[in-house]
Amino acid sequence: MIDIQNLKDERNIDIQRVGVKGLKYPIIVLDRAHGTQPVNATINMYVNLLRRFKGTHMSRFVEVLNEIREQVNIRTFHGILEKIRAKLHAESAHIEIEFPYFIEKAAPKSGAKSLMEYRCRFLGTSDGKGMDFIVGMEVPVTTVCPCSREISRAGAHNQRSIVTVMVRFRKFFWIEDVIRMIEESASGEVYSLLKRVDEKYVTERAYDNPMFVEDVVRNVAGRLDGEPNFTWYKVEAENFESIHNHSAYACVERDL
């Protein structure tokens, strides 16, 4: 059969990224507590396309994914990118994987256990000369406004916030450790299951530990600065304000 993709294109334009986007696929990732964890991921996979070719072979992306779906983790990512490059005869390959990651978490007083969801990302690019790999995670936390607490006769406004951290690193690390670091850097933590004794504790603890969105990103950044394994990071925090019709936002990005 005629391979249309390999026909010559006359427009003389290179394409930096071409591939499949928004592919839903089950994969297996590393889990410190249980060894591995099956997750339902959303995956984008791209390669570059030189100007002389009309198209890429889209089916080959899924073929590669089916081969490696039980091996997706920080340790194997470079090999995955190289497999994509080789399979599609490309100079560079790029892959983005986003997935929900679940950690069992105990309530602070009752000890009631439940699963907490965290959104995680793997972003990788390889051009055959080197690889750029970023790991990211979104962590829900609680913040209490210091200004509101200071000026109010009773109470203070509080809200759920999302802290997003992206890192480059030198050697393997556990996602769980960075998630813990983020949770400890806010006014309070978020839980899936709380009994009344827990609600009392987390509410009062957050009230005693008020923070602006600026405080949260600085706290996380300070913790990351003290970890020599990380070579670059980006910390973002968004407060979904409970008394304003907008969010509060802050970001710190740094090469180490």
How does 211-238 read in b/e, with b if 16+ C-beta sit within 10 Å?
bbbebbbbbbbebbeeeeebeebbbbbb
What mean pLDDT is predicted for residues 5-11?
69
Q: Which CATH number goes with the domain that contains 199?
A: 3.10.270.10
Q: What is the pLDDT of residue 120?
A: 98
What mean pLDDT is predicted for residues 115-128?
96
pLDDT of 141-153, one tens digit each? 999 999 999 999 9
**Residue 98 bridge partners (DSSP):** 42, 121
Q: What is the mean pLDDT of the chain?
A: 94
Question: DSSP class of residue 142?
Answer: E
Q: Which residues contact 27 (CB under 8 A, 6 or more apart)?
A: 38, 39, 41, 43, 69, 70, 72, 97, 99
Longest dimension (CA), the chain: 78
How far, in Å, CA of 108 to CA of 105, rounded?
9
30-39, 51-60, 131-140, 159-168: least confident range: 51-60
pLDDT of 9-50, one tens digit each? 678 899 999 999 999 999 999 999 999 999 999 999 999 988
Q: What is the pLDDT of residue 2?
A: 58
How far, in Å, CA of 233 to CA of 220, rounded?
10
Q: What is the pLDDT of residue 4?
A: 60
User: How many domains does one find in the chain?
Assistant: 1
Please provide residue 205's backbone torsions phi and psi, each rounded to the nearest 5 degrees.
Answer: -65, -45
How far, in Å, CA of 188 to CA of 139, rounded?
12
How far, in Å, CA of 91 to CA of 63, rounded?
19
pLDDT band at 80 (very low <50, low <70, confident <90, very high): very high
| pLDDT over threshold 70, residue 7 | no
Q: What is the pLDDT of residue 5?
A: 63
What mean pLDDT is predicted for residues 211-233?
98
45-54, 87-96, 134-143, 200-209: least confident range: 45-54
Phi-psi region of 111 (alpha: psi -120 to 50; beta: other; left: phi over 0): left
Domain enclosing residue 205, as ranges = 4-255
pTM of the model: 0.92
How far, in Å, CA of 88 to CA of 49, rounded?
10
Q: How far are the Cα atoms of 9, 30, 59, 111, 205 from residue 106, in angstroms, in the given order?
A: 59, 21, 44, 5, 16
Q: What is the pLDDT of residue 177?
A: 98
How far, in Å, CA of 56 to CA of 176, rounded?
37
